[in-house]
Structure 1
């Protein structure tokens, strides 16, 4: 299924709407809309505008030039804001660390602020990735943020003590970015979920038995 058709279906289901309901809202016949979801036809310019208005997304998102819907864009904006904050705090710490007029308590407070900002950044990074990989036919490799961490890998990992399966996404330094599945007893289910995400994102899958990421 082509990208426009896939994203039309995803947006509709994500917003809990029926095909007939969407068709009425954008001013076309139900059969005309169904053909767009099947990839048989493409939306005309005016229809495209109506769809973008209905879901509050850009035309770039619908045609695949962007992978950000409204929710994902908001998370990404917050992520970049905290990245800049972290850099500013680190610059401030470097300046004050080598300046005698600042007390040790002032320097320690900046360190604490840096640690809190980093922790929140990790949480935002996971939230952003989890939001992004739900979008149909998403290009993680070319993503501005995750391209620097590429290649990513989807790990299917068995916990030795419980024999439960976990699915993680890790970066090129083997650091965990996001958890997709936790405490799944059925290996086939865990693997199926991993492969589904792999098909959508292009991130390869690896399987490790009797080991567990700390």
Structure 2
């Protein structure tokens, strides 16, 4: 789903960035990519959680990251990131080597989950052909889960790992703009983030978690 608001917000962000940094590249969900000439690319999701936004569910965010190098997540280096959740007036932000923050509060993940198990978050694709695999993945991770949440916006799920609201997150099928900013926020908060190889549907697996559960969650969530 794409709304007029998605297009308008991306156009506004793109125009502001072009005015401030005309040599930089741009990679957004709703418009044509521009490689730029500076070696820095801005990766933008104007409304992450568009379906939530369209239905009046207050879990959606604006996600912006500055990355260096190739405009591909497997090879870029994230430099700075911001994820803003308008309904909560929360600004998650990070800079490489300078930590992650929620507004003015520095974020640090816990080392391990509680004895009750890990609170996990996930998401599902819109293609019915992928639903069985997604549900099977949920079943496989349940041995370590206290419960599972599905909030409908990957950037919020990932920032929730950084903020200690959930212990881990897993999902196949994300696009680069879905995780570019929040991945840096997770790692600067002391969490782990990794992209795992695509499955037979061509969807890469994203996993982010606190250190104590990352390896087991990664094992259970694959393939």
Provide the TM-score with structure 1 as the length reference.
0.27
Larger radius of gyration: 1
Highest RCO, 1 vs 2 (Cα 8 Å, sep ≥ 6)? 2
